[in-house]
Structure 1
Amino acid sequence: MSLPSELAGTPVAEHAAPRGIQVYRNLHLWLATGLAITLVGFAPTYFLNLRDATWFQHLHGLSATLWMGLLVVQPWLATRGRLKRHRSFGIVALVLAGMVVASGLAVLPFNIENAIEATSSPFAPATFLYGVTFVDLLTILGFLVAVLMATLSIRSLDDHVLWMASTLFWVLMPALARLLTFGLLVTVGPGDWTLVDTVFWTAFPILGLLVYLMVRIRRAHPALVLAAVGNLGALFVEPIGNSESWRALCNAVFL
């Protein structure tokens, strides 16, 4: 995805395709990869176990999956000249974003309940559940900021696209970590590792991809920088999860 310098700040006309939009003609294919990772990564724990999920988990799973699907559809519509449909779906996207944020906050208490009751699997110890709650809060906040900035920059093509596309990097970590976990279970089998380890190592390919994109477009765009900072949180799941102060705060807020 390369952005010519002359496109920076290109104004988006209200009823016409913005100049230079065809530079994003293949963006939907990149975003479709993120959707595929989400579907495969969450298949064993959610899509193939729908009966075990709570109502809030269903709402979060449905809204997040639809969001990822919309990320694929929107650039395809815009680069094929279907701007009226693109703008209509933009309204739907705002509703979906609200559902993703609200349902994401609603499922956080389950992390703390599982940590205290020790009802989770051996791969998700209390350290992970408390630590990943911090990462989840960071992810929800970053996702919300990215959506708001994409909405506010709707008249600047490059900014609008990059802020919206960056939401992928706020929701990719959970799916990719699960995919890595099941890959390890199949190839290596159970061992001394837990989800603390897989989340830690999952951060590196995501950070690497963000750095690659910044080099490719020759610009450290705020959307990509913010996503990189947010994904750095995955490297600190263990110390945060072991923090007594953080555990006490989570217990007070979520229980």
Structure 2
Amino acid sequence: MPYKKAYLWVTLVVLLTIPAFWRGYFGQFTDAPWEMHFHAATATGWMILLATQAWAAHRKDRLALHRALGRASLFYFPLFMASAMVIVWSMAKATAFGDSIIYEAHGEGLGAYDLLSVLAVAWFFHEALKERHDVHVHARFMIGTLFMLLGPVLARLFAIPLFITLGGSYEPPVVFYAALVVAQFVIAGIAVWLWRAAPVKGRRPMAIVALLVAAQLVLFSVARLSDAWRELFMAIGATSPAIWMALGCAIGALVAWRGWQAGKRRPHKDTAPGAVPAE
């Protein structure tokens, strides 16, 4: 099973969310809107699930736990996707009706960036389920879902020193854009490093991660220049969040079901330690 220490790195990402989102969430926890609480809880839960599964996968006496968490993820994933879509809605609302200079400058770009992240996470989870009998592919697709959560964390962390050094010369939206660019290059570099270290049959997931991280940056840059997309995105903010919760939940349930069914039809290779045998 690859990534023996992956649980430590996932745990580190969980811890880094505290300083990254301190100003926008943890520092004003009681005043934060419900959608932020919902997404914070489900995204943190997803990362904890990844960390626990990675830890259990490398311990023979904990394989039953890995297997149980794998089954539980089928029911948890729709909640995670529902919260992700609600966050996209909240970003659209902030772009249309908020008073943040960041969303005023980059709202439509961040919305496109996040929509691609949501779709990528869904696809990675589907592929992880489909390839659950091949440890090298399965594990890397599961870790791939984490890469789509890294951008917002690292961008906010990198923004802190950039604001200190460049804040007097550049407007906050410019500094934030620079921080996001740096974050995407770092994430893509990590993905390429993991791709090079993987065996041939395990390289595809990290190659796709690197390409998607690059696509996120391109999409962010292009989308924020489109007036048509900005108008459409702001229109999303005027709709009911229940629509986007339901859509996210439906997408998550469909992905989980189709991925699980596809995995039953896949030929056995190196069966993942916690994978449930095909039926």
Aligned: 1:170 with 2:159? no
Quick one: higher RCO (CA 8 Å, sep 6+), 1 or 2?
2
1:37 Cα deviation after fit:
2.5
1:9-44 deviation line (CA, Å, top 9, x unaligned)? xxxxxxxxxxxx3x5322222333322333331233
What is the alpha-carbon distance in structure 1 between the residues aligned to residue 58 and residue 18 of structure 2? 25
Partner of 1:72: 51
**Which residue of 84, 91, 95 maps to 1:104?**
84
1:66-109 deviation line (CA, Å, top 9, x unaligned)? 11122111111111111111111122323332222111111222
Aligned: 1:63 with 2:46? no
1:116 Cα deviation after fit:
2.6
What is the alpha-carbon distance in structure 2 between the residues aligned to residue 218 and residue 169 of structure 1? 20
Aligned amino acid, residue 222 of structure 2: P
Aligned amino acid, residue 120 of structure 2: G
Larger mean Cα displacement after TM superposition, 176-185 or 130-139: 176-185
**Which residue of 193, 206, 223 maps to 2:205?**
223
Residues 228/187 of structure 1: CA separation in 2 closer, same or farther (3 Å cut): same
Structure-2-length-normalised TM-score: 0.76
SS in structure 2 at match of 1:170: helix
What is the alpha-carbon distance in structure 1 between the residues aligned to residue 204 and residue 196 of structure 2? 13
1:187 Cα deviation after fit:
5.0
What is the alpha-carbon distance in structure 2 between the residues aligned to residue 250 and residue 216 of structure 1? 39
1:219-251 deviation line (CA, Å, top 9, x unaligned)? 473322222222121244233112012112223
What is the alpha-carbon distance in structure 1 between the residues aligned to residue 76 and residue 17 of structure 2? 17
SS in structure 2 at match of 1:94: helix
Structure-1-length-normalised TM-score: 0.83
Question: Contact between 1:142 and 1:226, CA under 8 Å: does it hold in 2?
Answer: no
Aligned: 1:250 with 2:233? yes
Aligned positions, number: 232
What is the alpha-carbon distance in structure 1 between the residues aligned to residue 84 and residue 185 of structure 2? 24
Partner of 1:15: none
Give runs of aligned pairs for residues 15-54 of structure 1, distance below 5 A: 21=1, 23-54=2-33
Question: Contact between 1:126 and 1:241, CA under 8 Å: does it hold in 2?
Answer: no
Residues 103/249 of structure 1: CA separation in 2 closer, same or farther (3 Å cut): same
